[in-house]
């Protein structure tokens, strides 16, 4: 049994064919002291090369699907472009010389007159992926291009749990694979506008923001971003660039995410489960129940 590996030899079911972001494999399963071969559905992870014109800008590991939204969201949250109007075209670009790149290269062409420093951008992306995010200097650098959000949106505490349930109910790929993150965008009333899933939560956030950019909804003042996992610096920073003032997650935030949220005037919530949650920043945007005597104490968060 030690020499067996998963294969893709079995004919997939109709349900398996419909899952663009997943793939069905034959696997050997050990359960209840018995061994048998069965089908398992796993999340797809493939590289996406984002090009500006004909030049490679970055490669991200993502779940295929909504690649144009991912590229647009990536470009705006990384401050390469400021608006959808700066983009002339966006399309997959396959090459007979690189058959392995089929479906995994997307080319963005900017409108005449839109200038970018390609080499500087490449160095910045390389530095971030190589040495990571580094403390206060990075926060100050990021905030230099993101004005503190003065969004006066307020959201009732009881609406938050409904937002999380709405996100979970639309995570189709996660329900099949257990291996994807989900990010949902909600309006001021708590209505779900769009959900995206990906192996990388930052990719899912970019797909959501790219969708909003295409729909002409940016900047996203009055909106909330709900994340199925934890809130990292990158998630909170991307939300801030898009103008989103409220970020809520089912799990914990990182310390740098909290620092950035407080500096940017954002509301950051963690451990949103059932009707409970923690406020790490911006508690003034939460409308507490009248019966909640301790609500004023939480205003100190942020």
User: Cα angle vertex 158, ends 157, 160, to 5°?
Assistant: 75
Tokens of 62: 């993502």
Q: In what order do the strands lie in the sheet with 192-198?
A: 192-198, 181-186, 224-227, 246-249, 267-273, 276-281
Tokens of 73: 């969201």
State the catalytic residue, choosing from 93, 131, 134, 292.
131
Count the alpha carbons within 13 Å of 235 in the hemisphere toward its beta carbon.
Answer: 34
131 classed as catalytic: yes
Q: Which residues contact 63 (CB under 8 A, 6 or more apart)?
A: 21, 43, 44, 45, 46, 173, 180, 197, 198, 199, 200, 203
Catalytic residue numbers, as ranges:
131
């Amino acid at each position: 049994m030690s020499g067996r590996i998963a294969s893709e030899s079995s004919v997939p079911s109709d349900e398996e064919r419909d899952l663009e972001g997943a793939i069905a494999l034959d696997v050997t399963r050990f359960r209840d002291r018995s061994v048998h071969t069965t089908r398992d559905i796993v999340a797809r992870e493939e590289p996406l090369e984002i090009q500006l014109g004909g030049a490679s800008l970055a490669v991200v590991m993502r779940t295929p699907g909504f690649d144009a939204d991912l590229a647009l969201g990536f470009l705006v949250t990384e401050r390469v472009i400021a608006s959808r109007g700066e983009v002339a075209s966006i399309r997959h670009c396959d090459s007979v010389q690189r058959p392995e790149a089929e479906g995994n290269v997307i080319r963005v062409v900017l409108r005449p007159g839109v200038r970018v420093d390609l080499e500087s951008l490449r160095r910045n992306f390389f530095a971030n992926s190589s040495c990571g995010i580094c403390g206060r200097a990075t926060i100050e650098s990021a905030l230099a291009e993101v004005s503190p959000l003065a969004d006066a949106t307020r959201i009732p505490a009881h609406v938050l749990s409904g937002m999380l349930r709405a996100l979970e109910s639309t995570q189709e790929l996660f329900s099949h694979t257990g291996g994807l993150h989900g990010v949902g965008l909600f309006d001021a009333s708590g209505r779900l506008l769009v959900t995206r899933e990906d192996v990388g939560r930052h990719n899912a956030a970019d797909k959501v923001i790219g969708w909003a950019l295409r729909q002409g909804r940016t900047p996203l003042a009055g909106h909330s971003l709900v994340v199925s996992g934890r809130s990292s610096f990158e998630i909170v920073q991307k939300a801030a660039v898009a103008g989103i003032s409220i970020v809520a997650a089912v799990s914990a935030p990182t310390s740098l995410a909290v620092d950035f949220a407080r500096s940017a005037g954002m509301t950051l919530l963690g451990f949103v489960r059932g009707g409970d949650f923690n406020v790490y920043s911006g508690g003034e945007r939460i409308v507490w129940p009248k019966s909640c005597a301790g609500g004023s104490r939480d205003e100190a968060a942020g």
